[in-house]
Amino acid sequence: MAINLKKIGDIQTLSLGYTHEATVDASVFSASTGAQALAFNVGAGALAGTVGKCAIIVDQLVTAAVTDGGAAITDATLAIGDDGDANGMVVEVDVFSDSSSLGKIFANNGAITQAGNHLVTVLNVTSNGTGSGLGDAAKGKFRFLVEYYPTVGQGFSN
C-alpha cells in the first residue's frame, strides 16, 4: 500500500511552493507498533525525481481509542524521509492527543531538506505508534505536502 500524491490545485497551497499533496486518515498506516514506513506514489508508480521540500499538517490528533478492540494507543509520531534517512525531510511530529500539534504545519526541518533539493526514488512517511499502531487509531487526519518534479518531466502550460 502507498499514499498517492496528487497535483495541487489550490492556489493558496501552491503559493507556499508545494506541487503535490495527500490527505489521509490514520487508518492508512500499519497497525503494527514501532517505526513503520509507507511510501508515497505519484499516479501508479513510485517517485523518481527531485524533492525540494515536504510538510506535515496535523488536521486531527490521534487519541487512545482504537478500532480493533486491542491495546490503547499511548503515543504516535509521523516523519517524512527517504530509504536512507527516515526523518531526513521532516523530523518526528508528535500527533498524539497530548501534543500541541493540532492545526500546525511542520516543514523542512530534516537534515536532507536543509541541504537543498534531493533526488529521490523513495519517499516515505514513517508512523510510530506505541500501544497499538496508527492503523488501529479511531481518530487522526493528516495532510502531506511535497514539492516534487519528476526526472522525466511533466506537462507545463501558462
Give the pLDDT confidence score for residue 157 in this predicted structure.
66
Amino acid of residue 93: V
Whether 56 has a pLDDT exceeding 70, the answer reads yes
Q: Which residue range is the domain that position 68 belongs to? A: 2-150
pLDDT at 62 over 90: yes
| Torsion angle (degrees, nearest 10) of CA 43, 47, 48, 53 | 120
pLDDT, one tens digit per residue, over 35-46 is 999 999 998 788
* Mean pLDDT over the full length of the chain: 92
pLDDT at residue 18 is higher than 90: yes
Domain annotation covers residue 157: no
Residue 136 is part of a domain; what is its CATH number? 2.60.120
Task: Tell me what pLDDT residue 24 has.
Answer: 97
Reported as a single tens digit per residue, the pLDDT across 66-98 is: 998 889 999 999 999 998 899 999 999 999 999
Alpha helix locations (H) across the chain? Answer: 11-14, 111-114
Query: Considering the domain boundaries, does residue 155 fall inside one?
Result: no
- Judge whether 156 lies within some domain: no
pLDDT reported for residue 156: 66
Q: Is residue 158 part of a domain?
A: no
| Spatial separation of the C-alpha atoms in residues 51 and 108, rounded to whole Å | 11
Report yes or no on 127 lying in a domain: yes
Q: Is 117 part of a structural domain of the chain?
A: yes
Question: What is the C-alpha radius of gyration for the chain, rounded to an integer number of angstroms?
Answer: 15
Number of folded domains that form the chain: 1
Where does 26-140 show beta strands of DSSP type E? 34-42, 45-46, 49-60, 75-81, 90-94, 105-107, 118-120, 124-130
